[in-house]
Amino acid sequence: MAHYVVLASFTDQGIRNVKGTLERSKAFRKTAEGMGVKVEDIYWTLGQYDLVIGLEAKDDETVTALLLKVGALGNVKSKTLRAFDEKEMGAILGKV
């Protein structure tokens, strides 16, 4: 399974409805699970991004579909980073 870090910011709509963020996070987890994506962590943060989310999925396409689906709701904008754990990085370095 591949790992992803999602950096998300509230849109104007999302911040106007910020009191619903916990309910939206529950709905996000349910949607992700239904698409075969494991939500490892969700953190609400200070600074440039409002949320940091850890995901695990079988491929980039599945995560992209999930985040497009969530983005279309209009509450957050996101940037996604593909992440490699220690074992994966070792395999990559073995090819260098």
Residue 48 phi/psi, 5-degree rounding, is: -65, -35
Q: What is the model's pLDDT at position 19?
A: 98
Q: Tell me, what CATH number does 46's domain have? A: 3.30.70.920
Alpha helices in the chain (DSSP H): 12-16, 21-34, 60-71, 86-94
Q: What is the model's pLDDT at position 32?
A: 98
Residues of the chain with pLDDT under 50: none
Residue-range definition of the domain harbouring residue 6: 2-94
Question: Which pLDDT tens digit goes with each residue over 24-39?
Answer: 999 999 999 999 999 9
C-alpha to C-alpha distance for 72 and 47, rounded to whole angstroms: 24
Structural domain count, the chain: 1
Instruction: Report pTM.
Output: 0.93
